[in-house]
Amino acid sequence: MSTIELTSSQKTILTALVNLHRETEDAVKGEDIAAEVDRNPGTIRNQMQSLKALQLVEGVPGPKGGYKPTANAFEALDVQTLESAAEVPLFHNDDPVEGANVEEVDLTSVHHPELCRAEIHLRGSVREFHDGDSVRVGPTPLSKLVIEGTVDGKDDTSNILILKLDSMEAPAEEPEH
């Protein structure tokens, strides 16, 4: 399948739809998406027409209706369905974050630990995170890596948190019991 180039607005709206759909598994109302991305419902309806044309969204008629992402939407956002993703716990100011899943951790400046930043790619909204909040990621499934840091920026469109790292550790191998 050729990659579909989405505008940042389409990407934001499609990401919101995918996240909201995941929570409920039902069709998502345009108003809910509008509230999630802070745009007016008319804008959402217009964007949905273009996303339907791209076969990324299907409309569901009726009182329980709204929009659902198609399988192509996940591919277009490069999001594999949740089942295949390992659960990596995420803590926000020491509270576990429900429904957020860490997809990827990019360490940006490993050579300068004092400047070390990590990009945390989330599946789920980063809206509730603010600069200065403390975040803990992990342990990751294989290396059991745990990263702690402070939010230093974020990219709402791509659901990326930028952390200033406070600590990063992977435990020593534990002997088998």
Q: What is the per-residue pLDDT across 81-102, written as a single tens digit (0 to 9) for each?
A: 444 455 778 888 999 887 777 8
Indicate if 94 and 29 belong to the same structural domain: no
Domain boundary (76, 110, 129) is at 76
Angle at 153 between CA 42 and CA 105, to 5 degrees: 100
- Cβ contacts of 123 within 8 Å, gap of 6 or more: 19, 79, 82, 85, 100, 101, 102, 103, 159
96 plus 42 within the same structural domain: no
Q: Are residues 68 and 97 in the same domain?
A: no
**What average pLDDT score do residues 12-40 get?**
89
Q: Is residue 45 scored above 60 in pLDDT?
A: yes
- Among 23-37, 49-63, 77-91, 134-148, the minimum mean pLDDT is found in 77-91
In a domain, 70, yes or no: yes
Contacts 24+ apart (CB under 8 A), 101-105: 102/137, 102/138, 102/140, 103/79, 105/137, 105/140, 105/145, 105/147
Domain boundary among 76, 111, 136: 76
Place of tokens 């949740």: 82
Q: Is residue 39 part of a domain?
A: yes
pLDDT surpasses 90 at 110: no
pLDDT for res 81: 43
Same domain, yes or no: 133 and 101: yes
pLDDT classification of 17: cutoffs 50, 70, 90: very high
Q: Are 70 and 89 in a shared domain?
A: no
User: 122 and 162 share a domain?
Assistant: yes
Residue 107 clears pLDDT 90, i.e. is over it:
no
- Give the mean pLDDT of 42-52: 93
Q: Is 61 helix (H, G, I), strand (E, B) or coil?
A: coil
Q: In terms of domains, do 165 and 115 share one?
A: yes
Q: What is the CATH number of the domain that holds 52?
A: 1.10.10.10
Q: What is the pLDDT of residue 146?
A: 85
Q: Are residues 130 and 105 in the same domain?
A: yes
Q: How many domains does the chain have?
A: 2
- Greatest mean pLDDT among 15-29, 40-54, 113-127 lies in 40-54
> Is pTM, for the whole model, over 0.75?
no
Query: Does any domain span residue 14?
Result: yes
Domain that holds residue 54: 8-76
Domain end point (choices 36, 52, 76): 76
Looking at per-residue pLDDT, the higher value among 35 and 103 belongs to 35
Q: Is residue 177 part of a domain?
A: no
Is it the case that residue 124 has pLDDT exceeding 50?
yes
The mean predicted confidence, pLDDT, of the chain is 82
